[in-house]
Every structure is written in C-alpha cells, then in structure tokens.
Amino acid sequence: MDRLPSRVYSVSSVRAADRWAIERLGLSGRVLMARAAAAAFETLRCHWPRVGRILVLCGPGNNGGDGYVLAALAAAEGYPVVVVAPAGLPSEGDAQAAHADWQRAGGVLTNWRESLLTETDLVIDALLGTGLSRPVSGVLAAVIEAVNAAGRPVLSLDVPSGLSADDGRILGQAIKADVTITFVGLKTGCFLGEGPNQTGRLLAHGLGLPPAVFSEATPVWERLTPEVLQAALPRRSRTAHKGSAGRVLIIGGGAGLLGAVRLAGEAALAVGAGLVQIGTAQCHAAALAAACPELMVAAIEGPHELMALVAQADVVAIGPGLGRGSWAHALWEAVKDCDRPLIVDADALNLLSMAPVKRARWCLTPHPGEAARLLGLSTLAVQADRRGALLALEQRFGATVVLKGAGSLVSHDPLTWLCDRGNAGMAVGGMGDALTGVIAGIAAQQPAGTDPLRQASGAGVYLHALAGDRAAVRGERGMRPSDLIRELPACL
C-alpha cells in the first residue's frame, strides 16, 4: 500500500489524471481497474486475514467494475464470495467487461435481500464511487441503510457510496466504512464534512502511476506531515539558552477566567519556548504564579503595564479567557496594532469581529462559530465551504489563518495546509487555548528575519493533533487539554 500522499485533489483533477494515464501512457481502463481491484484485495487480506464469507455490492459503473474484478480475485483464492448488483448491471465499457469476466469465471449474481448481511463476515462497497452528484434513493438507499445497521465490517472502494467525493456531504444515504481505499489521488471529500466519519481508516494506492499524471492538475490542499514540524523545530544547539529559545507573552485571564490562559502558557512551555509570561487580571496573578511557578506572571490593570511587557516579547498571543468587558477591550485596543507577531484567539476574535482591522504579521485561530462572526456568515455556511471561508478570512484581515475543526485548515503559500490528525476526544473546552500556546511557543523559536507565524501555525496545528492522538491512547472520551499538553514533549 502506498504511503498516504501529501496532496489532495478535486474529483475532476483525479479523473484528468486517469485520462492522462490512458492517453499518454497507453494504459487501458481495464488495466487500471485490475490494479485497483488487486490493491483492494491486498487491503482485504491485510485487515481481515481470517475473513470468511464476503459480500460484494456492485454498482452499474466503474466502481462496480472494480468490485467484480475483486470478487473474481477473492473467489480464485478460495474465499466464499456472494456478489449482488442491487442497481442493475453495467451496460457498457470497462465495467460491463469486468462483469462478463466474472460470469466467464463461473461467478453468479445473487438477488439482494437484507438477510445476506447476517450471513457475511465482510461487506465490499463497490456501489457508487466518485461519480455521484444527486441524493441516493430507492433500492440503493435501502441497501446502504441496511449495511450501516448490520454492524458488519465494510471496505469501501475509492470513496464510501453516497458520500460526495468533492465536499464530504452525505447525499441521501452514505456507507459508513471501516476502511476506505482510494485510488490514484486523495479526494477532498474524504476530509471535509462527514468524510472523516464515513471513510473510517483511509488508505491510498496510486495504481503504479507516475507523479506526472498530475502535471496538469492543481491540488486543493497539502496534508501536514512530520516534515513541517521538523522544519519549524530542528534539533536545538547544545549552546542554546532561554533567551535564544524565544520569549512569549500571553494576554488573558479576565476575572473568573483563569484556566484558559494557564493552559496556553503551559502549552507554550511544553513546546520549548524559553520564557513564557502571562499578563492577567490582578485577582488571578498570585494564584497562577503559585499553581505554575514555571510561568512568569504579571498583573495588568490597563494598557500602560501591558505595553511594557509587549516590548520585551518576541511573540504575543491574546484571547484565552480574556472576556469581553472594559478591561478586555482596553487591552485589545492597546495590543492590536503592536509591532510584534500577534496570535489572536477566543475572546479577542470576538472583539475583532465587532470592529474589524487589517494588519500584517498576525495569526487568527477561529473555530467555525468565531469564523462566522468574523465574516458575517452563519456557522453552517462556514462549514459548507471551509476552504472559501479560510480564503475570505485571509483576504479580509491580511492574516495567517487557522480554521479549526475536524480537518483544520492553515494558511500557506502556495497550497493551503490540511491537518488530518486529531480525534473526537479533542472536542472539549480548553483545547483551542492549548493550541494558541503551542503556536506561540513554536513561533518564538523561529529564526530572526523570517515570518514566524506561517511556519509555526502549520507546525503547531500538526503537533497539537499528534499530541491529542497520543493522549487518546488511554481513551478519547474524557480526555482533557492537560492530557494533551503532557504529551507535547514526547511528540517533539
């Protein structure tokens, strides 16, 4: 199986790559179908080595053709195989030829009945593939609903049937797969919307095609990989000292809101920032200093004390637990035009949405609700077009943007970064505050003369997700931000 590629494409780009291979390399569609089926069969044997009866659900298009070839391979190896074509037989092309080959090999078709699911150990979903453009209905909707209810493991070919391969919408009904093997190139719909829920474990196979098949295609995203983190945080010199590891100032913790700024500060320390100072409300300063002596804590009553701290910092972050009262407004107004790289999160984003400004050298880290307020849209609209929302935020505010959520997107040139790590256990308050600290801590360690926020944003999102996955080994539900923070040094 191929390593998961870094670049993610639209369905039309992947189809163009198919055509390129057929027209310029002289490969037939049947050869590509045979390679796809062979890759899927190898996935089957790897993930379900003791599988017994296999149910292959074939559609009338090329996705179904992959299914027929896979069924023939499995039958030739002695697996008990049942093949069903609930939407009818292919009427032309490579899929029709694949069905004919299945028949010539002695294969038969079984009429669909729901009881087949109780008699099988593994379902192969080869119903619809990437060509779907309208909601699934009729018998196919009933079949998909029955498969999802049966609780049998499912291997989907290319994309789960019923899932939009471009935007991750469920079109009526969609298969919930345990494993999806996608061919030629990664499709955007596997990472958007309900895509991560429906695909299960995502695998990829390039079918032996050279990178040149994508020479005329523009990727939509580039996945964050370990190389991004390695570039941002190379091995530290043995002569390093706390001053050379960067100084971070994090502003927040209004009255009654201490926890968020503490999490951000501890996360900045955990990724290696040399000095981390917290500017917080006077009522919290003593308690925070006692609870975490590694943090330097300053009580701030107003902008005058704040700007003295800003002058000493390499990177400034504002927002965790800031609040929206007069104290918060005064600090935000003082810092929004400062000459330091600035990370804006949480309450500071809400203050920004009330009076938008544009500046250079800053990073905004909104979740979808905050992004909606910044753009004057609904959260639903942001989620429906996350890439469009990211680009709109970049243009409106001149910022590096981290649009958080399942499949976080990060501004980068020339390709937007996509994070496909992380887990549902991270859906808890305080995780975003930890991310702010991670980005700030990494940014403070970047060499002078660079744009620290671009590199740090991608590396920070990736590291934060890795630490979340490491923490989730003990269980996702009930995981806390402090669990994630404890895993950051080990991930580094």
* pLDDT of the residue at 2: 61
190 and 275, same domain (yes or no): no
Residue 450 lies in a domain: yes
Could you tell me the two tokens for 389?
């929302």
For the chain, first and last CA: distance in Å? 27
196 and 284, same domain (yes or no): no
Residue 383 lies in a domain: yes
404 and 437, same domain (yes or no): yes
Residue 78 lies in a domain: yes
Q: How far apart are CA 383 and CA 385, in angstroms?
A: 5
* pLDDT of the residue at 133: 86
99 and 60, same domain (yes or no): yes
148 and 263, same domain (yes or no): no
209 and 313, same domain (yes or no): no
Could you tell me the two tokens for 62?
């090329």
37 and 83, same domain (yes or no): yes
Residue 2 lies in a domain: no
Final residue in a domain of this structure, among 170, 199, 219 = 219
Range of the domain at 75: 7-219
256 and 363, same domain (yes or no): yes
Beginning with the edge strand found earlier in the chain, give each strand of the sheet holding 247-251 in spatial order: 186-187, 7-9, 221-223, 416-418, 409-410, 400-403, 362-364, 342-344, 315-318, 247-251, 275-280, 296-299
Handedness of CA 155, 161, 162, 166 (dihedral sign): positive
pLDDT tens, the chain, 492 aa long = 567 999 999 999 999 999 999 999 999 999 999 999 999 999 999 999 999 999 999 999 999 999 999 999 999 999 999 999 999 999 889 999 999 999 999 999 999 999 999 999 999 999 999 988 899 999 999 999 999 999 999 999 999 999 999 999 999 999 999 999 999 999 999 999 899 999 999 999 999 999 999 988 889 999 999 999 999 999 998 999 999 999 999 999 999 899 999 999 999 999 999 999 999 999 999 999 999 999 999 999 999 999 999 999 999 999 999 999 999 999 999 999 999 999 999 999 999 999 999 999 999 999 999 999 999 999 999 998 999 999 999 999 999 999 999 899 999 988 899 999 999 999 999 999 999 999 999 999 999 877 899 999 999 999 999 999 999 999 999 999 999 999 999 999
Q: What is the CATH number of the domain that holds 125?
A: 3.40.50.10260
* pLDDT of the residue at 414: 87
Final residue in a domain of this structure, among 184, 219, 254 = 219
* 94: three-class secondary structure by DSSP: helix
Give this prediction's pTM. Answer: 0.93
Question: What are the backbone angles phi and psi of residue 469, rounded to the nearest 5°?
Answer: -70, -35
236 and 210, same domain (yes or no): no
* pLDDT of the residue at 70: 98
Question: Which uninterrupted H or E stretch holds 386?
Answer: helix 386-397
User: How many domains, the chain?
Assistant: 2
Q: How far apart are CA 168 and CA 271, in angstroms?
A: 33
365 and 240, same domain (yes or no): yes
200 and 257, same domain (yes or no): no
Final residue in a domain of this structure, among 219, 243, 278 = 219
